[in-house]
Structure 1
Amino acid sequence: MRLVNTRTQRLATVPYRAAGAGGVPQNVRLCVERLTVDQLPAGCDALLAAGDLQGVASSPLGGEPVLLGIALADYLQVWAESGLLPPVDRVGVLLTGDLYSAPGADRRGASGAVLDVWLAFAAAGCPMVYGVAGNHDEVTAGQVAELGPDVALLDGDRRAFGGVTVAGISGIVGDPGRALRRTEEDFVSLIGKVITSPPDVLLLHEGPVGDRMGQLGRDAVRRALERRAPALTLCGHVHWEEPVAALGDGHIVNVDARVAVLTV
């Protein structure tokens, strides 16, 4: 599943509140952009990839503000009805972690429970929801597995859906005494294991450095991936203004505070 081109097309924006400097809430917009790939999993007419949804938003269905990821799941039906997206039961979901926000969007770097975001996409009818946990997520693979047979939190393992293989590694490089952190050596070693047979898609929270100015990431992760690069590596953790970079004979797409809709 390879990118056909690297130019994004803006589809929509979603208004939300996020913590700014000093924890002061600010009004921002989540960009929803299309990228074209050469193929999709059987059973899907689009894949929605997103990460670092660290904010709160009003659902298009009404009610009190909710986690941005929950509101995003609610938008899928609205966008399907308008023709912007295929029917929800034909839209697969790939999550790169950090899905929590303080309820008042008034504290940066807050950590908390995110199972409800996963539940929102599963309950919306998405045929598959695969993802990894970010360093601010409180969720377990066991909790996620209870949401359905094709809903999976990945960490050093892989799943297949519709002829497409997805692997994932949760967390970041850091003090292994803290949740969702590994030494760089252990992180790189785990990458080596999941790409022995390169998956079609690799999900990371902390990803590799890109190939352009400002595309920050971890050099060791890039070195680990270059020789057996997956066709598509999705990551977040740090924001890139330009979301696409080359990696070996594949590409990186950074979805930090961004939604990428992959279609053919």
Structure 2
Amino acid sequence: MQIISISNLPIHQIQYLTAAAGGVGAIARSLPILLAEVDYLPNNLEAIIVTSDLQGVDPKNQQLLSYLAIEELEKLAEIGKIPSLKNTGMILAGDLYAEVNRRGGVVGDVREIWLAFNRRFRWVAGVAGNHDSLGNTPLQVQSFQQHRNIYYLDGEIKSNGELSLAGISGIIGKKGKPFRRPEKEFLKIIRLLLKQSPDILILHEGPNDPQGNLVGQESIRRELEKINLTNDLLVICGHSYWKVPMIVLENGIQVIKVDGRAIVIQAKK
């Protein structure tokens, strides 16, 4: 599965409020929805939508941006701008919780958000970000993973029909805080997952791109560039904003950055 193109202009923008830098007050921002073409979609899917870092609230009712995004995507599907959500897969690359008057150190339970996406979409797959919680105990996390058509990934690979999905939750960092792993451990998991040749690798924290001055982890980029591809690999990540939605690594791996944007991927007609 290989991306052919991504539109420069959004088909729609979702207005929301987010905490201002420094944590003083709130500022208005918009979530652009872009269209992308891919050469092939498996399992008779009409589309896959990818997004992350929905760290804001609806200015009208203060509900989290994730719920507003679901409503807006439903409206776009109803008027035919995007395919039916019931035949669309949803990929979440983490950080779905927010507090509009506070930045940094904020963590919240996002299980209900995942379930809300799952009620509208054919399936939901993804990872947790460093601001997410999926329960307070291993048993709660395990119970969440058992929901039908939810593919929560943290160092695992799961198959959905013809589509193979791998993912690592969280970021590189010292243990002790939620969803942090030492760098060596994080990179080892990447190696183990890619040996199984997934179609999509979902990360919260992704690689950098020094040529484009795009922030990320250099060690993740170097690890990905070591791979000798035997199939097309699409990497989806969030955590930090890029001015462009996609780059291609030296070995041909495509990396989509969905922090602060949503991308609707459809097969070329």
Distance 2:58 2:127 in 1: 22
Distance 1:9 1:199, change over 3 A: farther
Within the candidate set 65, 73, 89, 1:92 is matched to: 89
Within the candidate set 129, 137, 151, 2:124 is matched to: 129
What is residue 54 of structure 1 aligned with on the other side?
55
Please list the CA deviations of residues 152-206 of structure 1 after superposition, one character each: whole Å capped at 9, or x if unmatched. Answer: 2101111222311110000100011221001101100110110012211100000
What is residue 238 of structure 1 aligned with on the other side?
240
Distance 1:211 1:175 in 2: 25
Q: TM-score, normalised by structure 2?
A: 0.90
1:93-108 equivalent positions in 2, closer than 5 A: 93-102=90-99, 105-108=100-103
1:53-72 equivalent positions in 2, closer than 5 A: 53-57=54-58, 64-72=61-69
Within the candidate set 71, 75, 83, 2:72 is matched to: 75
1:109-258 equivalent positions in 2, closer than 5 A: 109=104, 110-124=106-120, 126-140=121-135, 141-148=141-148, 150-210=149-209, 212-228=211-227, 231-247=233-249, 248-258=251-261
User: 1:143 Cα deviation (Å)?
Assistant: 4.4
Which sections of structure 1, spanning at least 5 residues, go unmatched?
Answer: none
Alignment partner of 2:196: what SS? coil
| Identical residues among aligned pairs (%) | 34
Cα RMSD of the aligned pairs, angstroms, is 1.6
Alignment partner of 1:168: what SS? strand
Q: Report if the CA contact (8 A) 2:7-2:34 is conserved.
A: no
Distance 1:185 1:205 in 2: 17
Q: Report if the CA contact (8 A) 2:6-2:35 is conserved.
A: no
1:253-264 equivalent positions in 2, closer than 5 A: 253-264=256-267
Which sections of structure 2, spanning at least 5 residues, go unmatched?
Answer: 136-140
In the TM superposition, structure 1's runs of 4+ consecutive aligned residues that sit over 3 Å from their partners are 6-9
What is residue 138 of structure 2 aligned with on the other side?
none
User: 2:117 is aligned with what amino acid?
Assistant: F
User: 1:214 Cα deviation (Å)?
Assistant: 2.6
Q: TM-score, normalised by structure 1?
A: 0.92
Q: Report if the CA contact (8 A) 1:131-1:168 is conserved.
A: yes
Distance 1:39 1:259, change over 3 A: same
What is residue 38 of structure 1 aligned with on the other side?
39
User: 1:74 is aligned with what amino acid?
Assistant: E
